[in-house]
Chains A and B, each alone.
Chain A
Amino acid sequence: MSRATRPPVGQEAIAVHGWWHAHRFLVLRRISQLFFLGLFLLGPWAGIWLVKGNLTSSLTLGVLPLSDPFVFLQTLAAGHPPLLTVATGALAGAVIVALVYALIGGRVYCSWVCPVNPVTDAAHWLHTRLGLKKGWQPKRGTRLWVMAMVLAVSALTGSVAWEMVNPISMLHRGLIFGMGFGWTLVAGVFIFDLVLSRRGWCGHLCPVGAFYGLLGERSLLRVSAANRAACDDCMDCFDVCPEAHVISPALRGSAGTSPLILSRDCTNCGRCIDVCPESVFRFTHRFDDRTSDDPVQATQPGATRAA
C-alpha cells in the first residue's frame, strides 16, 4: 500500500484498540522525560532538593551518586586519573548508571530520559506534517565514528570534548543552571532534523546515543515481534520507529529465527507496540524468543491477510 492510499499512521490501532492503547508508551515516555527533568528542576524552581546537579553527574537525596558513563569516559581519555574519582563519587555513579542501562537497554536513555528526544520527535512530527524529503541519510555506523572522534579529541586536547557542544547538556544544564546561547545548538539539531536529515541527529550522528547503544548491546529488556504471524503489512511500525531498520530482522524473519529486536539501535521506545493494530509486538526479555509461528502457539493460522 502506498502512503497516499493508507490511513494515517496509528489510525487503525486507535480504531481497534482505542486511543490510550495506541499511545500508551508514547505518553508514558513523555511522562518519564518530564519526570526526570522535573526531578532536576524541583530544586532550583521550587527549592525541593531531591536531586542536585544535572545529567552529567548528580546526587540524589544526598546519598546516591549518578554520573554519565560517556562523560566519565571522556575524562579518562583526557587523562584525568580515575583513582581521583574513587572516593569522590563519579566512578561509582558512572558504574551504577552503566549497569542499569546495560540491563534495561542502553538506548532507553535516548527515548525515556534524554531531553533532546522530545525536540527531535517534534522535528520529525513537523517534518512528516510538511511532507519534507528524507534528505541526507548518513550510514548507520556514522555515530560510532563520531563517538570515536569525540574520545580522540578528548585525548588529544586533554579536555571533556563533547561537553563543549553536546546539545543534551546545553538543554538540560541550560534549563537547570542557565542556558546562555546554548539554545542555538538545540535549535540547530531541530532544524537539522526538520529540513536536512530525517531522524538525522538521534538516528545517525549523536555519539551519546552510539555509546548507550553499545552499552546495551546485551541488555535484557527487548521488544519482540512475538505475534509476527499476524502482521498485515500496514507498515505503521516502520513509520513510527526512529530506527526502522531494527524491525525487519525480527518481524520479517522466517520461521525459526528469533522474533526479538536485538539491534543495539532499538531505543525500547515501544512505539511499534503502540501503533500495531494486530498487537504483533510486546516487551519481553532477551531469552524469550517464543513466536506465534511456533506450531504450538499459533493462534491465527494463515494470518498474513493483507498484501
Chain B
Amino acid sequence: MNVPFKSGSPIDRRRFLGDAARAVGGCLVAGTFLARMATDARALPAQALRPPGALDEAEFLGACIRCGLCVRDCPYDTLALAELGVDGAATGTPFFTARDVPCEMCEDIPCVAACPTGALDHGLTDIDDARMGIAVLIDEEHCLNALGLRCDVCYRVCPVIDKAITLEVEHNARSGHHAKFMPTVHAEACTGCGKCEKSCVLPESAIKVLPIRLARVDAAEHYRLGWEDRQPLVDELIDLPDRLPGPGTDNLVTPGGFEPAFKLPEALK
C-alpha cells in the first residue's frame, strides 16, 4: 500500500527517479507505436472518399472525433464509419465508396450541419462547391462511348451535367468516318459525388472518382497559355506602339486592315 515518501531520503529519491524513468521509457515506446499508427492512418485508400466539406486529410484527422453524427444525418446512408481492419480509412472516420452508394448532393448538406467539430467545414453552404474528389475516365479502352457507341449514362446522371461532365466530339479513327462522344470531366465543376461512377454500365466502372491528390496536378507556373492569358509576359518588350488602322495590324476586319485571300465566315465579320 502507500509508502509515504520521506522526502529527502536518497533511497526514496533514487526509487522515485527510477520509477519515473521507467514510466517515461515505457511511454516513449508506446508513444512511438501510436505515432506510427497515427501517421500511417493518413494514407487514405483511393476508393474511400470523405464527406462533403471535409478538411484536408491531415487536418481532418486532427479534427474529426469519429462520432458518426454525419453518418446518422445522411438520408441516403451514403456514409459509414471505417471499421478497424475492414475499411482502409483511419478507424472510426466517416467515408463513402462511390460505387456502392454515391453522395446525392443534398441541397441542405445535412452531414456538414451535423458535424460537431468542423471537421466537415460549415463554411460549405453550396453543395456544388464540394470537392470530395474528381471523376476520371479511367479506362478509355472499355468505356462504351470511347469505343464509339452511345452510352452516355455517366454524363446523364451527373447532378452538375454539362459543367462537371461534357461529351466532347472526337474523330473515330477506327471506323474513319464516325464520331466518338468522349465523357470529359471538368475539375472546376466536378464535386466528386460519384454518381457517374455508381452508374457506369460496365461490370466495373470505367469512370472513377479519385481523391484530388491523385487526380490533379498543379499547372507548371512557367507555362502561359496564350489563348487564355492575354496579358503579355514581358510588358515593355511586347507593348509596341499601336498602328491602327492599317496594313500589318492583326485587326482583320477594320477597313484598311489586312485582307486574307480567303473569305472570312460571316460570323467573324
Chain A min CB distance to B110 (Å): 12
**Complex contacts, B139 vs chain A, CB 8 Å:** none
Find B116's partner among A65, A165, A177 (CB 8 Å cutoff).
A65
Q: Are B65 and A68 in contact (CB under 8 A)?
A: yes
A145 contacts partner chain B, Cβ-Cβ < 8 Å: yes
Write out, one digit per residue, whether chain B residues 74-98 have a CB within 8 A of any chain A CB (1) or not (0): 0000001111111100111000000
Chain B min CB distance to A84 (Å): 3
Find B61's partner among A89, A159, A185 (CB 8 Å cutoff).
A159
Q: Are B85 and A149 in contact (CB under 8 A)?
A: no
Known: A56-B66, A84-B118, A149-B31. A159 touches B86 (CB 8 A): no
Chain B min CB distance to A170 (Å): 7
Size of the B side of the interface (Cβ < 8 Å), in residues, is 50
Q: Are A85 and B69 in contact (CB under 8 A)?
A: no
Q: Are A146 and B65 in contact (CB under 8 A)?
A: no
Chain A min CB distance to B5 (Å): 12
Known: A43-B72, A149-B34. A180 touches B116 (CB 8 A): no
Q: Are B58 and A158 in contact (CB under 8 A)?
A: yes
A53 contacts partner chain B, Cβ-Cβ < 8 Å: yes
Known: A152-B31, A179-B83. A164 touches B65 (CB 8 A): no
Chain A min CB distance to B260 (Å): 61
Q: Which A residues from 64 to 108 make CB contacts under 8 A with B?
A: 65, 67-68, 71-72, 75, 78-80, 84-85, 87-90, 93
Q: Are B69 and A59 in contact (CB under 8 A)?
A: yes
Bound form: Cα–Cα A75–B30 in Å: 20
Q: Are A93 and B23 in contact (CB under 8 A)?
A: no
Identity of the chain A residue whose Cβ is nearest the Cβ of B24 in the assembled complex? A145
**Complex contacts, B90 vs chain A, CB 8 Å:** 159, 164
Q: Which A residues from 131 to 188 make CB contacts under 8 A with B?
A: 138-139, 141-142, 145-146, 148-150, 152-154, 156-165, 169-170, 173-174, 176-182, 184-185
Q: Are A88 and B66 in contact (CB under 8 A)?
A: no
**How many A residues touch the partner, as a band?**
35 or more
**Complex contacts, A181 vs chain B, CB 8 Å:** 83-86
Bound form: Cα–Cα A102–B83 in Å: 33
Known: A52-B69, A89-B116, A173-B66. A157 touches B84 (CB 8 A): no
B99 contacts partner chain A, Cβ-Cβ < 8 Å: no
Bound form: Cα–Cα A164–B93 in Å: 10
A257 contacts partner chain B, Cβ-Cβ < 8 Å: no
Q: Are A158 and B62 in contact (CB under 8 A)?
A: yes
Identity of the chain B residue whose Cβ is nearest the Cβ of A89 in the assembled complex? B116
Given contacts A57-B67, A179-B84, A182-B84, 11 further A-B contacts (CB under 8 A): A53-B69, A85-B116, A85-B118, A139-B22, A159-B61, A160-B61, A160-B62, A161-B35, A181-B86, A185-B84, A244-B1
Can you list 20 A-B contacts (CB < 8 A)?
A49-B72, A52-B72, A54-B67, A57-B116, A88-B118, A93-B116, A149-B28, A153-B31, A157-B39, A159-B90, A160-B66, A164-B37, A173-B92, A176-B68, A178-B80, A178-B81, A179-B84, A180-B91, A185-B84, A245-B1
Listed from nearest, the 7 A-B pairs whose CB atoms lie closest are A180-B83, A78-B62, A84-B118, A181-B85, A57-B67, A89-B116, A159-B61
